[in-house]
Amino acid sequence: MRANFTGALSAAIHAFKYDRQTRLAEPLGMLLVEGLADSFWPVDLVTAVPLHAARQQERGYNQAALLGQVLAQDQGWAFDEAAILRTRETPSQVHLNAQERRVNVADAFTARPEVVRGKSVLLVDDVLTTGATMSECARALRAAGAGQVWGVTVAGAAGSGPDMQNM
């Protein structure tokens, strides 16, 4: 079950994402593991919502990829951070509404067919707010030939939808 993006969890994710507290990858990633404990997903590949190269260089890491690595390693699943790529830099979505978020990320991703074709892909991100980014990533993965695309996040904004879903 995905937790609400409030209180201590919100503070931990913020520190992980913006304050270079990469040591939080393990405990936050284990929340994903715990959330999937009662689920069976036929996962062939785990990947993460990608950052644009400029943002990743600025931050030094992709927080979603670190979470995905923890989950994949715990479950014995393959992980490929480069299965999906961000093709253009997009402004931060923190202050955008749902429609603005959809427009902001439209056609911002491409997936590598040679990596995802025919595979069940589990897409990881830190927080689900409106689902715009996850949905656009799932669209790119399916366009590249992925079979099933599942999405999972550590936390979600109130009313952000189902905990784990087939995208």
- Facing residues of 151 across strands? 123, 165
How many CB atoms neighbour CB 151 within 10 A?
Answer: 25
> Which residue in this structure is represented by tokens 């955008």?
96
Confidence of residue 41 (pLDDT cuts 50, 70, 90): confident
Neighbour tally for 1: CB within 10 Å: 9
Domains of the chain, with CATH numbers? 3-166 (3.40.50.2020)
What single-letter DSSP state applies at residue 154?
A: E
CB-CB contact of 70 with 33 (8 Å): yes
**For residue 152, what pLDDT is reported?**
92
- Around 101, how many Cα atoms within 13 Å sit in the side-chain half-sphere? 16
pLDDT tens per residue across span 11-39: 999 899 899 999 999 999 999 998 887 77
Q: Which two tokens stand for residue 66?
A: 């670190």
pLDDT, mean of residues 51-78? 94
**155 close to 94: Cβ distance less than 8 angstroms:** no
Q: Angle, to 10 degrees, between the axis of helix 25-35 and the axis of helix 63-75?
A: 50
Contact assessment for residue 111 and residue 140, using Cβ atoms and an 8 Å cutoff? yes
The reported pLDDT for the residue numbered 102 is: 93
Is residue 164 predicted with pLDDT exceeding 50? no
Average pLDDT, the chain: 89
SS3 state at 32: helix
Binned at pLDDT 50, 70 and 90, residue 8 comes out as confident
Query: Looking at residues 67-78, what average pLDDT do you find?
Result: 96
